[in-house]
Amino acid sequence: MVAPTNEAELADVIAASKQAFSIKGGGTRTLGTTMGIPMETQALTGVELYDPGALTVVAKAGTSLDDLHSILAADHQRLAFEPPDLRALLGRDGLSTIGGVVAANASGPRRIQGGACRDYLLGVRFVDGTGRIVKNGGRVMKNVTGYDLVKLMAGSHGTLGVLSEVSLKVLPIPEQVGVLLIEGLRPDQAVSAMSMALGSPFDVTGAAHTTKGLDGDPVTMIRLEGFENSVRYRAEALRDKLIEFGDIHIETDAVKTAAGWAWVRDAAMHVGLPGDVWRISVAPKDGPVVAALLPDTEIQFDWGGGLLWARVPDGFDVRAALTGLKGHATRIKGAGTPQDPSVFAPESAPVAALTAGIRKQFDPKGLLNPGLMGAAPSRKEQ
């Protein structure tokens, strides 16, 4: 295993290597199986700059998410995109790192309103597969390069470069959170209610539904955030708008609302239970359709019905259920089958060609997480 302690050392290690690397930050959200020498980036840690007035933070990639949350919270600020914590779901310990969050473009329930991790990423520093140190972006949202590398690196899962530093826009923590709770809805009814809420002028920041809540019954959750008086007014107005869906309870207790959305964010309904867990992204109107095509199981709908966390029997390939529908599925937990152990959905021929071309430019020797996301194993690993 290699564990570089600074960016220069990271660059030297990659430049001198003829063998591939299996790259991870804290290893808390790594998907699939990668080949090569294990490389950990947790030693690249520390907040380089934090300017609360400019809503900007610059941190080394190995900085733990817990530490970053604490630093921001001290100034009543937070990461805007609500990154999930999958440690309980995947049965892993350790510390999630901000580099791992960016590499996975990990984004939680607030994405439906505010955008994904990549939308708050201002700049990156990384080392590509040749050992070259690359910087793109900065503390302002503009790019003048041929590639928007800031966006490209978010979600690349370490196949284009090893992140060493990230710059992010942050946001204030709201004064009040209010959640509308509707019990007993079918998935199609829940999607209708969430779509109506998201289409309203009341600035909904979360819309989720689970077929089995903590009390065993289906529950739909719609979140509002902001100043206390504003949240109260909007919650009551939205309740009146959704009255056709039955009795609606408004919850404003800070502890309960935080715990409820953490439960949604982390797909906690599937923790400790047998079966494979898939993350499925489709148009919200197709969420109930996909759910009906899956084996009988509990499903969580997020993003207004466009994101499904589904637990299915071991080896069941959810991607077959998406035939004829626009969307994709990623196996988050489970080994798949010997015939198809892949985690990510296969790429179409044009997309695969584009991906291969980009990867060849940034990792011509195939050293970075070969075998992941369609990356071909390097000759040393075949």
* 31-68 confidence digits (pLDDT tens): 776 778 999 999 999 999 999 999 999 999 999 999 99
Identify how many contiguous H helices and E strands the chain contains and give both numbers.
11, 16
Closest CA relative to residue 119, chosen from 151, 146, 166: 151
Whether pLDDT at 317 is above 80: yes
Residue 34, pLDDT score: 72
Q: Is residue 220 within 8 Å of 181, Cβ to Cβ?
A: yes
Which of 182-186, 264-268, 285-289, 313-317 comes out lowest in average pLDDT? 313-317
Phi/psi of residue 299, nearest 5 degrees: -135, 140
Distance in angstroms (rounded) separating the CA atoms of residues 288 and 50: 43
Give mean pLDDT, residues 188-206: 98
> Around Cβ 89, how many Cβ atoms within 10 Å?
22
| Coil vs helix vs strand at 179 | strand
Whether pLDDT at 297 is above 80: yes
Whether pLDDT at 158 is above 80: yes
Whether pLDDT at 156 is above 50: yes
Give mean pLDDT, residues 241-268: 97
Band (pLDDT 50/70/90 cuts) for residue 138 is low
| Coil vs helix vs strand at 296 | coil
**Sign of torsion over alpha carbons 369, 373, 378, 381:** positive
Residue 167 CA: distances (Å) to CA of 15, 144, 162 = 25, 17, 15
In terms of average pLDDT, the best of 19-28, 122-131, 322-331 is 122-131
Distance in angstroms (rounded) separating the CA atoms of residues 175 and 180: 17
Whether pLDDT at 309 is above 90: yes
Whether pLDDT at 144 is above 60: no
Whether pLDDT at 376 is above 50: no
Distance in angstroms (rounded) separating the CA atoms of residues 40 and 25: 6
Give mean pLDDT, residues 242-255: 97
Helix (H) or strand (E) run with residue 39 in it: strand 37-40
pLDDT tens by residue, 203-245: 999 999 999 988 889 999 999 999 999 999 999 999 999 999 9
Distance in angstroms (rounded) separating the CA atoms of residues 182 and 211: 12
Distance in angstroms (rounded) separating the CA atoms of residues 234 and 237: 5
Q: What is the average pLDDT value for the chain, to the nearest integer?
A: 90
Residue 10 in tokens: 């990271």
Residue 175, pLDDT score: 97
Helix (H) or strand (E) run with residue 123 in it: strand 121-127
Residue 147, pLDDT score: 57
- Residue percentage of the chain with pLDDT more than 90: 74
Give mean pLDDT, residues 121-132: 94
Residue 382, pLDDT score: 31
DSSP state of 2: B
* Single-letter code of the amino acid located at 11: A
